[in-house]
Amino acid sequence: MTGNGPSLIDVARAAGVATATAGRALGGYGQVSARTRERVLAAAAELGYRTNGLARSMITGSTQTIGVVVTDVANPFFATALRGITDVTHPAGFEVLLANTGGDLDAERRAITVMSEKRVDGVIVAAAQPGEGAHLKNAIGAGVPVVLIDRLVRGVPEADTVTIDNERAAAEAVAHLLELGHRRIGVITEAGAPVRGPRRRGLFPSAVRLRGYADALREAGIEPDEALIGVARYDRESAYDATLRLLATPEPPTAVLCTDNVLATGAYRAAQDRGLRMPEELSLIGFDDEPWTTLVRPELTVVEQPTYELGTRAGQQLLDRIADGSGTRRPHHVELRAKLVARGSTLPR
């Protein structure tokens, strides 16, 4: 790099004061007379001085930077959550260091390590895998506060969490369909989500939603039918295929719930291509509200997640913990509620 510009020493020399005094004038700490402050500021402006944040951070022990680790910023869900995070943390004087894991656990480990070495004041993590949290536990042990969003991780009880009550959200969607008279209700969900299993930390939203779906059915006296559960990869085409398979079974569902909005686009397209009239021949519910859901015909009924708020709450959570500092603060767990927005794709005729 180039000569890197003038340092505080240069400014002090130019102003005819000690470096300590120049630092006080520019940094806004300690006592400086108005006259010398002005002299120092003038000298700094003259030389084009830029504070070296690295040196400052080494002394103060704070970088005024937080890390944000997500699987994919291009996903509108994480993008808006990220916006929520920055909207809260930026006014508080914090910058955001961003990492994309692409869902790869190793990438997440590396990201956490690098951020930790860069001495971020805390991290907000949307975990890649629910099962492995050793690296997060390490970070916390090293004094880096961790806030988990959207996904809980096993083995990190010290972390704050901000999540959405996915079980309840899915159950409400199912209840809505039951109320409309549906009995054979299908679901399109992401691969790797077990239908049964103990209720505990370390499950992904899609899995939790699937449980909410199953529980709601049982509560209505309907035993969940494996044949009505369509498993897909996390992309539109896969969801499209899964939906077609579901609709081609001997006893096809009269309603389908999608556990994600990407999956919903595939399912919607499948219903269109199959020539099924919605909601008469097939009712459809998506997850996560997006602008397009009111442009399609019929409009799509969705479970609307408070995505932006997820970000703001997580940001606030992290700020609180950073401000606390003592490390004695017990972990907080925020669970936000999603809202069912009924539209044409499920309304009764």
CB 124 within 8 A of CB 318: yes
94 binds, among DNA, its own copies, none (CB under 5 to 8 A by kind): none
Number of Cα atoms under 13 Å in the Cβ half of residue 136: 29
Q: What angle do CA 10, 16, 18 make, to 5 degrees?
A: 70
- Whose Cβ is closer to DNA: residue 57's or residue 100's? 57
Asked if 90 interacts with its own copies (CB under 8 A), we say: yes
Interface with its own copies by CB under 8 A: which range of 20-28, 38-46, 114-122, 211-219?
114-122
CB of 188 to DNA, least distance (A): 49
Residue position matching structure tokens 């209505």: 220
321 binds, among its own copies, DNA, none (CB under 5 to 8 A by kind): none
- Whose Cβ is closer to its own copies: residue 84's or residue 186's? 84
Cα distance between residue 340 and residue 172, in whole Å: 7
CB of 90 to DNA, least distance (A): 20
- Whose Cβ is closer to DNA: residue 4's or residue 326's? 4
Neighbours of 114 (CB within 10 A): 13
Interface with its own copies by CB under 8 A: which range of 79-87, 159-167, 202-210, 248-256?
79-87
Asked if 36 interacts with DNA (CB under 7 A), we say: yes
Asked if 32 interacts with DNA (CB under 7 A), we say: yes
The identity of residue 347, as a single letter, is L
DSSP string, 204-251: -HHHHHHHHHHHHHHHTT----GGGEEEE-SSHHHHHHHHHHHHTSSS
CB 82 within 8 A of CB 61: no
Asked if 33 interacts with its own copies (CB under 8 A), we say: no
Q: Are strands 95-100 and 65-70 parallel, antiparallel or unpaired?
A: parallel
Tokens of 76: 């509108």
CB of 327 to DNA, least distance (A): 17
271 binds, among DNA, its own copies, none (CB under 5 to 8 A by kind): none
CB of 300 to its own copies, least distance (A): 9
State which of residues 223, 291, 330, 348 lies at the interface with its own copies (CB under 8 A): 291
CB of 92 to DNA, least distance (A): 18
- CA 294 from centroid of its chain's CA atoms: 24
164 binds, among its own copies, DNA, none (CB under 5 to 8 A by kind): none
Cα distance between residue 66 and residue 146, in whole Å: 10
CB 75 within 8 A of CB 126: no
State which of residues 38, 45, 46, 58 lies at the interface with DNA (CB under 7 A): 58
CB of 118 to DNA, least distance (A): 12
Neighbours of 302 (CB within 10 A): 27
74 binds, among DNA, its own copies, none (CB under 5 to 8 A by kind): its own copies
CB 87 within 8 A of CB 312: yes
Contacts of residue 295, Cβ cutoff 8 Å, sequence gap at least 6: none
The identity of residue 55, as a single letter, is A
Asked if 13 interacts with DNA (CB under 7 A), we say: no
Cα distance between residue 11 and residue 48, in whole Å: 9
Which region holds residue 28: left if phi is over 0, alpha if psi is between -120 and 50, else beta? left
134 binds, among DNA, its own copies, none (CB under 5 to 8 A by kind): none
- Whose Cβ is closer to its own copies: residue 160's or residue 290's? 290
Closest of 245, 148, 252, 238 to residue 201, by C-alpha: 148
Residues of this chain that bind its own copies (CB under 8 A) = 1-5, 48, 50-55, 57-58, 61-63, 65, 68, 72-76, 79-80, 82-83, 86-87, 90, 95-100, 113-119, 121, 138, 141-143, 236, 262, 265, 268-269, 272, 290-292, 294-297, 308, 325, 327
The site for DNA (CB under 7 A) is made up of 4, 7-9, 16-21, 23-24, 26-27, 29-37, 49-52, 55-56, 58-60
